[in-house]
Amino acid sequence: MDATRRQFLQSVSAAAVASSVAGKAAASVDPAGRPSRVVRAGRQDATDPLGVRADFPVVEKGIYLDSPYIAPSPRQAVEAGKAFLDAKAHDPVPLGAMLEETARARRRFADLIGAKESEIGILDATSAGENVVATSLDLSAGDNVVINDLHYETTYVLYRHLEKARGLELRILENEDGAATPDEFAELIDDNTRLVSVSWVSHQNGYRHDLKALADLAHAHGAYLYADAIQGIGMLALDVEEVGIDFLTSGTYKWLLGGFGVAPFYVRESLLDLVKPDRLGAFSVARNLGDFRFELHEDANKYMYATPAFGAIFQLCAGLDYLLDVGVRNIERHTVGLAARLHEGLTEQGFEVLTPPDNESAIVTFEHARDHGMVARAFEDAGIQATVREESGQVRVGPALFNNAAEIDGFLDLTATWW
């Protein structure tokens, strides 16, 4: 590898620590010659409890509370993406170096969720993971799949299609007051259940499902648990081995602070033989045996069959390094605390909050019962960004690691004027 490309790898990998933010201390260096951790620009104080705001330019534009839609990236992830594009223009990165960074992304994601690298594959979207799992289970008449009405739309599309094409039974649990408890799931699960599928944190109202209880329930009936984790990973701490979940997928443009086109896919080690790749290609090959014969990957690397979004992978590595440096448990404590403050304030103001009280996620949804245009204009005029749902009269709010209590209070000051 020539000096230019080696320099690129050292500067881009591990969160592009050579960003333009002034006043940063030098990072420690690992044996491979790349910085081993992210050094954040900010300092912790009452306005910035996690010491991260200096790394998020979005805070300079107003109050951004829309991370459940798209989470802003820190400067380090942006610099990683820029460096990759700049190299592509001047001296494109060799394939081996890009695959090395892909392996590092798998390792870092494994570190984040308590898994092994061998259990982490790379897909292109969250929805791809559930499609791979459903196809592998070879669902048919006599089988049932249990979901609920707090899931993402892909799940309904997928299983309604399989219900029609293969004759399986789809059972949908209706939430009660914004929640879907394991006891309620238990009423729909039996020995013919093959799969229980949930959004770990619902994009609709932020409800956080009890993954451990659901995994235990599914396993007691010989079924598996799948989680769409895009609204949880990076916001909430998770140990997949402790929880006992079987499969999960997460896109990276929300709480993982990355870009689009990449989705880490977890398959429990004991189930890797069960979950087959739904397609094959050059990257499926572990070893070329000659005479056009090949030995294929057997671990989760087998799910990446062709060229992934390498630029997004470099961004993802930077985002993962950043999250691991800050500490997801710290992020969870901070953001869930802000959400609780918001929930309490909205309830006191008389709004119908659709997120259950004492819910442990950073997402809060409420009904505003006002003219949609008025609400949207009020947020715009106040420099506040949140998800305003025209069709349902709802607002979804999601404080992230860079938000603070003053911003939550600013949001509440605005909603208080609607009465």
Torsion angles phi and psi, residue 30, rounded to 5: -85, 175
Percent of the chain with pLDDT over 90: 88
The pLDDT value given to residue 388: 97
Using CA atoms, how far apart are residues 216 and 218, in angstroms rounded to an integer?
6
CB 18 within 8 A of CB 11: yes
Confidence of residue 20 (pLDDT cuts 50, 70, 90): very low
The pLDDT value given to residue 32: 33
| pLDDT (tens digit per residue) in 87-113 | 999 999 999 999 999 999 999 999 999
Specify the pTM. 0.90
Tell me, what amino acid is at 235?
M
Range with the lowest mean pLDDT among 14-23, 142-151, 267-276? 14-23
- Going by their DSSP bridges, the two strands 193-199 and 144-148 should be labelled as parallel
- Residue 246 pLDDT exceeds 50: yes
The pLDDT value given to residue 138: 94
Any bridge partners for residue 147, and if so which? 172
Beta carbons within 10 angstroms of residue 92's beta carbon: 13
Q: Which long-range contacts (CB under 8 A, 24 or more apart) does 369-375 make?
A: 369/393, 370/418, 375/418
In the chain, what are the domains? 101-323 (3.40.640.10), 329-416 (3.90.1150.10)
Using CA atoms, how far apart are residues 234 and 267, in angstroms rounded to an integer?
18
| pLDDT (tens digit per residue) in 129-157 | 999 999 999 999 999 999 999 999 999 99
